[in-house]
Amino acid sequence: MSHSTYNSLWSGAHEELSCLLPQELPEEPLRPERDRVVFFQRIATFYVRYVQIFRHLEEAYDLSVHPQKRRVIRQVLDSVMGRVLELKNEMVEKEFSEYHYMDDIIQDLKLTPEDLEIPIPRYFICERNKVLQDRERMFAAILNQMDVTEKSGPPVMRMLTLERAIKVIQVAERARQGRLRAKFMREIHRDSERQKRAEEETVSTDQAAVCIQKVWRGFMQRKITKRLREEEMIFLGMALDPKLSYPSQTELIAQNNKAMRRTRQEEHEDDYQKSIGSVIHQLREVEGSEMKETMKDQIRQWFIECRDATGSFPDYPEEEDGGSALIFAEKTPEELADELAVKEEEDANKNPKGKEDTKEKGKKSKIEDEEEEPGLKMLPSACLSDLERSHKTFSEVWKNRNESKNFSQRHELELIKEDKRKEIEVEIRKQVDELMRQELANWKLAVDKEKSGKVKGAAKKKKASKSAKRKKKDKDLTADRTTESLFEELVEQELVKKPENVKLKDYLGDYSYLGTTLRQTDIEPMPSLSDVRQVVTLYAVLPLGSQAVHEKSPLVKTILLVGPSGVGKKMLVHAICQETGANLFDLSPLNVAKKYPGRNGLQMMLHLVFKVARLMQPSVIWIGDAEKMFYKKVPKEEKELDPKRLKKDLPKILKSIRGEDCVLIVGTTSDPHSADLKSLCKFYNKIILIPRPDYASRYVMWKELIKKNGGEVTGDLDLSSLAKISDGYTQGHMVQVVRSILTERRIQQFPKRPLTASEFVSPLARIDPVFQEEEEALKNWYAKTPLGKKRIKAASGKEGDEEPPKTGGKAGKKKGKK
């Protein structure tokens, strides 16, 4: 695609933003909404529209070549991602569910379920290629070194036991007898065939010709009928043309163009960075001295105006307050002097009166809150101000810009000069402030005979020293070691693992088309695998992939994936690492057992893991079998492993994770009933229930798994029946069955014997499915979690929109007594 295509995507996204921002930031605040359904519809509509903007901006940013445009698009893209996460968080708080169904909304907006799919920005990996390659080399070197040390050890002699020796002899003897029996039966079969041929009468030439014609005509007619049926299905749009199964010439050209655009991005970025250096040097040489003299003259003029107006020289603003930048604000000298005087009074007068005032203000604010109109309001946003600012930049700079001469989409020097001129002005202003402070002190001594006070600066320095002392209290147990050595140790201890090469799109599943309809009839639907994929993308992939999004969006530190074994929980963990380029740390109870023994060893292990996780972020800390860490009662066979080893220390370290730390703890469990519910829910602030696949997801999975493992989906394979009879089986079961059927020998037989659904029945019958009782037990367990309880209360109508949580608790107690 051409440059104009991506420019139109960008401008189209901003046109949609120009419609959304006035609705989100109205001139007069909206009245609270009392109807929860209407309020949720409004938020969900915003969410869907922002997802569309997100998709357009991601496409535009990925293949735009202009370096300055890319920076502006990136700012809007990060803000839109943050706003999508904020709206998702608000929908969860208003509907009390991690899964939301918007069939009616996408129908009203004339969209398809695919348009609602959350895209994963490609810059998460593309812009970290060098870091990921270096980490890959480091991993390979450590693993090779470990293999060498293992091979260099003495060879281990394995003694053959008597039972094993007898078993080997029996197997060999039975195989020999079987071969002899097969040879004997083959000879008998040959003798019988010879006798039949001798007994058969000779066939005439005419009879033979008629027989051959019948067979040939039947074969040709069946072939023609099959071809006509396939053509009819293709014409009706119910089958794919075989020609389209392979990429066409235009698709190959488009892929090559994309690769060329990405290389051109790197070239233009290098030129842009070189131009920045030359422009900064030029501005410092040409305009630096003139800026400095102009600032000095302006500040001296301000000194004189303030003395004429107030009778004395003003105090020079401190650097923390902005320095001389405050002087050039659109204010009179009297106003500036008054502001500085007020600040001095506030700093000096720290008496109990101020505390009383704050108490009175707090009481007033509480009374005002109580008097506010009841209803639902949207939560404050940290991204809307950035969105508004970025939209304003686009409208003022890029919307009507003439780029007819910039056909190659290279950077523009004038824009670089405008940006860097401000930075150089800030640098020079700091230098000028130091000189003018001294000059002001000399003026005061010479004219007013006053001493320049430096009490505030000293006081501030003392405060800084206190904060520095506080920071020093946190001991670094490995201050003398490099990050590479720590990483190597963790790899050797198998606490850092290489994530498997799976993507989130490999987690197959179809959209839930009846979610809204079921909820309208007071039936809580089970989420589809497409909903699971979207939730994982929102909570894990987007915040980990972008530092800006992680800092602005609602902070999610921990996620618990709950579901039957085989539904793909571990696969999702590896997919999160692959999509974001994150390191994978394994703190599963079985993996941690007997490593770093003792109390000091445990502290050292957690220190190593979280230090490397922060230094090499983004990082994912995986806790498999998460229920073991919160066992109600530890089983006898697991007491030696001490599965509750991390229960006390890990929550303490979790509190130290902040917005700037791209670290996520992901737990997986298939048996949450054995854990203490209260402590488990306290540690994991997001609990995602993953169900077994529904009919639509099973249909898609059978089709894709068979193709992925070398099979062919033909008309002889009834996928609908196969999806129906595999109800209750998980993704793991389906993968196991497909691999057992599609052997090399079976793949070679496809031209003569195509696949049928009956071949998959017997392998499925040997596997125990996930029964309805197990799924109902997981649903009942989830209903006891904090979010599940809120959902039940909201569905039963016990919890009103205006009631605070305290009254709801009391009412619950009274009902319990009755």
Closest C-alpha among 664, 667, 654 to residue 625: 667
User: For 633-656, what is the HEC assignment?
Assistant: CCCHHHCCCCCCCCCCHHHHHHCC
All residues at 6 or more sequence positions from 75 whose CB lies less than 8 Å from its CB, including other chains: 386, 390
Task: Report which of residues 329 and 283 the model is more confident about.
Answer: 283
How far is the C-alpha of 683 from the C-alpha of 678, rounded, in Å?
A: 9
Tell me the per-residue pLDDT of 506-550, one tens digit each, with 9 for 90 and over.
898 888 888 788 887 777 788 888 899 999 999 999 999 888 888
How far is the C-alpha of 379 from the C-alpha of 583, rounded, in Å?
A: 33
How far out from the chain centre does Cα 283 lie? 42
DSSP H or E stretch at residue 622? strand 619-624
Give me the amino acid identity at 677.
L
Does the pLDDT value for residue 275 go beyond 50?
yes
In the chain, % of residues over pLDDT 90: 18
All residues at 6 or more sequence positions from 109 whose CB lies less than 8 Å from its CB, including other chains: 45, 48, 49
Please report, for residues 1, 2, 642, the alpha-carbon distance to residue 254 in angstroms, rounded to integers and kept in the order given.
Answer: 8, 11, 56
Tokens coding 282: 């030029």
SS3 556: coil
Strand positions, DSSP E, 396-481: none
| Residue 703 near residue 734, CB atoms below 8 Å | no
Whether omega for the bond prior to residue 635 falls within 30 degrees of 0, making it cis, is: no
Quote the pLDDT of residue 460.
42
Strand arrangement, sheet containing 686-689:
496-497, 583-586, 619-624, 663-669, 558-562, 686-689
Does the pLDDT value for residue 263 go beyond 80?
yes
Mean pLDDT along residues 244-252: 76
Task: Report which of residues 18 and 3 the model is more confident about.
Answer: 18
Tell me the per-residue pLDDT of 481-509, one tens digit each, with 9 for 90 and over.
888 888 888 888 888 988 888 999 989 88
Lowest mean pLDDT among 330-334, 498-502, 779-783: 330-334
Mean pLDDT along residues 67-86: 91
Task: Report which of residues 401 and 469 the model is more confident about.
Answer: 401
Does the pLDDT value for residue 813 go beyond 70?
no
Tell me the per-residue pLDDT of 720-743, one tens digit each, with 9 for 90 and over.
999 999 998 999 999 999 999 999
Quote the pLDDT of residue 363.
46
Running DSSP on this structure, what letter comes out for residue 104? Answer: H
β 663-669/558-562 pair status = parallel
Under the banding of pLDDT at 50, 70 and 90, the label for residue 36 is confident
Under the banding of pLDDT at 50, 70 and 90, the label for residue 458 is very low
Mean pLDDT along residues 3-24: 88
Q: Which residue has the tokens 């039936």?
A: 523
| Residue 665 near residue 558, CB atoms below 8 Å | yes
| Residue 755 near residue 716, CB atoms below 8 Å | yes
| Residue 585 near residue 620, CB atoms below 8 Å | yes
All residues at 6 or more sequence positions from 137 whose CB lies less than 8 Å from its CB, including other chains: none
Is pTM beyond 0.85? Reply is no
β 496-497/583-586 pair status = antiparallel
Tell me the per-residue pLDDT of 788-802, one tens digit each, with 9 for 90 and over.
888 888 777 655 444
Mean pLDDT along residues 314-327: 74
| Residue 30 near residue 71, CB atoms below 8 Å | no
How far is the C-alpha of 628 from the C-alpha of 587, rounded, in Å?
A: 12
Does the pLDDT value for residue 810 go beyond 80?
no
DSSP H or E stretch at residue 47? helix 36-63
CA torsion angle 337 339 341 345 (round to 10) = 180
Lowest mean pLDDT among 316-330, 577-591, 668-682, 803-817: 803-817
| Residue 79 near residue 383, CB atoms below 8 Å | yes
Tell me the per-residue pLDDT of 364-393, one tens digit each, with 9 for 90 and over.
444 444 455 677 788 888 888 888 888 888
Angle, in degrees to the nearest 10, between helices 384-393 and 67-95: 150
Tokens coding 747: 């793949």
Q: Which residue has the tokens 């600066």?
A: 457
